[in-house]
Structure 1
Amino acid sequence: MSNISDTVTQRVMPAPTARVKVSDGDELDVWVFGEGTPVVFVHGGMMRDFLVPLADELAKRGDYQAIHFGRRGHGGRGLPAEATDIPGQAADVVAILDALGIENAHVAGHSFGAYIALELAGRAPDRLLSALLLELVLGAHLKTEESQQGLKGFTEVVAPAMAEKYASGDRSGAVAMFYEVTSSVEGARTVVESALPKGAGELAAADLATFLQIDGPAMDAWVTMAEPATIREITTPITWIGGADSPPHFTESRDILQEWLPMTTSVDIAAAGHYFPLLKPAETAAAVGEWCEARSRRC
């Protein structure tokens, strides 16, 4: 599935463009690439730099300012000083916009980050030009047996096994397990870490505790409490971008969201699964750019 070469030169992340304080003990590292219409990228679990290749590709297209940041508890900073739920992390995005002097922006979130983007669409519509959801799971609302079993396989088998490896000190093994299960890519560790900026694998291992202790519970709480009636009130323009080969719990989640919000559009990235933003960054950037350009023409 990957066309990553063994000789690829990995990106080395520069010093952050800015650091934004969001609590007495939490500071977020923020990078800004390019100039133009701002697009904030919100990463998912563990891999802070997962969306950097996509942000790079969008910035190369011109006319876009790609903003990438590390969520609380990521980038080797240890557990958040002040644990926060998804609404709290949505507020962190607003804090970044304020710090950069940006009135409103497109916000694109992948996986866990997509919950944050959707939360922002409901809580801070005046700060969003649109929300781009790069696959989330509406676990409590899934109806088909295939989707339910697929999700249970992760929550009831994989997550506990990861926690056990972490507790035993095998953080690297836990990260490798995460890659294998969530990417559905053969030889996932080599493929994924070759596509990520240099050192991202070590960062993922360092940030595993945040995934297990903060993000997992926050995600479960958000999905359990998500009310269709509340989501139906969202007026922010929304698009869903997904992998054509992603597991059924993602495609069913997309269908549920479109039932709740019929104006939600969707795009599939061909020959890709859940890791499409990392492994198909040029194609994903094209879809992001086309959506943002269409929104600009309507303003």
Structure 2
Amino acid sequence: MERVQLNGADVAYDVRGSGTPVVFIHGAILSDGFVPAIEQTAIAENFQIVHYRRRGYAGSSRAAAGMTMQEWADDSIALLNHLGIASAHVAGHSFGAGIALQMAIDAPGRVRKLALLEPPLGSLVASGGQFAQWMATVREIYDSGDKITATDMVLAGAYGPDYRRFTDGALPAGAFERAVSDIDTYFQVELGAMLRWDITTEGLKDIRHSVLSMRGSDTLPVFLEGADLLQQWIPEIDTVSIPCASHDLPGRNPAAVATGLVEFFTT
């Protein structure tokens, strides 16, 4: 990956292919979570792929405590500026989908179409409180210093107990070990950013982009309810269910995700 200074942070990124640019924003914990979908032939042959590692992940600079969704969105916009890209399709997964959503709100002219794969809308849905209580229990394990167990609990809870079958087989080698190394970003920065995120249903109603909402058929209630909320409030949106997938839908069923993205971005 190449490196660039964005808003005072050193960020690793990769650009490949040709055609209309698509920015892929990865989710929490697994910085390579989008890789299986990005590497599908349908994606590689149709778009210029912009894939970067957010602050706090892999070789990029650490994320500062108190960082907001708006600041992460600013990094994405700064990367487009660096690459000389006036506007791009944007696809985000999990926490990255929250960033993509914020990017569309803050800089609507920079986003062509918007693909959201299960953004964290816990503050707006009924099951958000239950999800937060479970996460508080996992936080106790993390605070005790057991990062391996905490990482395992978060991934198993969000992706299913058999998640290692997919992370070890579909993601680049060492994905779990990188997740353990990056888990501080999740607990020390991202959870706080989600709690402080000022997203509202009125804000969703103001989005005028064409939006694709993807959700796993077997995902958690908090993400199913989040997809229903997006469908209710965003004016121009289509929702698709990715079969045999949980919250790790880009890794568990990358072909279906890639097909859906290509159809959406090319029509």
TM-score, normalised to structure 1's length? 0.83
1:164 equivalent in structure 2: 140
User: Are 2:265 and 1:289 aligned?
Assistant: no
1:42-61 equivalence runs, <5 A: 42-57=25-40, 61=44
Q: How far apart are 1:221 and its partner, in Å? A: 1.2
Aligned amino acid, residue 66 of structure 1: I
1:95 equivalent in structure 2: 78
Cα-to-partner distance string for 1:181-216 (whole Å, 9 max, x where unaligned): 0002x3323432322111221211111111001100
Taking the aligned partners of 1:59 and 1:20, their CA distance within structure 2 comes to 28
Q: How far apart are 1:164 and its partner, in Å? A: 3.0
Taking the aligned partners of 1:206 and 1:196, their CA distance within structure 2 comes to 16
Cα-to-partner distance string for 1:219-269 (whole Å, 9 max, x where unaligned): 1111xx222222211112211011122222222212212221132111111
Between stretches 206-215 and 228-237, larger displacement belongs to 228-237
Residue 207 of structure 1: SS of its match in structure 2? helix
Taking the aligned partners of 1:152 and 1:234, their CA distance within structure 2 comes to 26
Q: How far apart are 1:106 and its partner, in Å? A: 0.6
**Conserved 8 A contact 2:211-2:238:** yes
Q: How far apart are 1:156 and its partner, in Å? A: 1.4
Gaps of 5+ in 2: none
Residue 11 of structure 2: SS of its match in structure 1? strand
Change beyond 3 A, Cα 1:267–1:37? same
1:11 equivalent in structure 2: none
TM-score, normalised to structure 2's length? 0.92
Taking the aligned partners of 1:261 and 1:61, their CA distance within structure 2 comes to 29
Change beyond 3 A, Cα 1:117–1:77? closer
User: Are 2:186 and 1:203 aligned?
Assistant: no
1:109-188 equivalence runs, <5 A: 109-143=92-126, 148=127, 151-157=128-134, 159-184=135-160, 186-188=161-163
1:21 equivalent in structure 2: 5
Aligned amino acid, residue 152 of structure 2: A
1:221-260 equivalence runs, <5 A: 221-222=196-197, 225-260=198-233
Q: Which has the larger radius of gyration?
A: 1
Structure 2 counterpart of 1:216, from 186, 191, 204: 191
2:88 equivalent in structure 1: 105
Aligned amino acid, residue 6 of structure 2: V
Aligned amino acid, residue 77 of structure 2: V
Q: How far apart are 1:54 and its partner, in Å? A: 1.2
The sequence identity of aligned pairs, in percent, is: 35
2:20 equivalent in structure 1: 37
Aligned amino acid, residue 133 of structure 2: E
Aligned amino acid, residue 212 of structure 1: F
Q: How far apart are 1:160 and its partner, in Å? A: 3.0
Taking the aligned partners of 1:227 and 1:191, their CA distance within structure 2 comes to 34
Taking the aligned partners of 2:116 and 2:174, their CA distance within structure 1 comes to 27
Q: How far apart are 1:90 and its partner, in Å? A: 0.5
Cα-to-partner distance string for 1:31-61 (whole Å, 9 max, x where unaligned): 1232211111111111111111111115655
**Conserved 8 A contact 1:131-1:239:** yes
Taking the aligned partners of 1:265 and 1:190, their CA distance within structure 2 comes to 30
Residue 39 of structure 2: SS of its match in structure 1? helix
Taking the aligned partners of 1:77 and 1:92, their CA distance within structure 2 comes to 12
**Conserved 8 A contact 2:208-2:236:** no
Cα-to-partner distance string for 1:256-296 (whole Å, 9 max, x where unaligned): 122211321111111212111111111110000000011xx
Taking the aligned partners of 2:206 and 2:88, their CA distance within structure 1 comes to 20
Residue 54 of structure 1: SS of its match in structure 2? helix
CA RMSD of aligned residues (A): 1.9
Number of aligned residues: 267
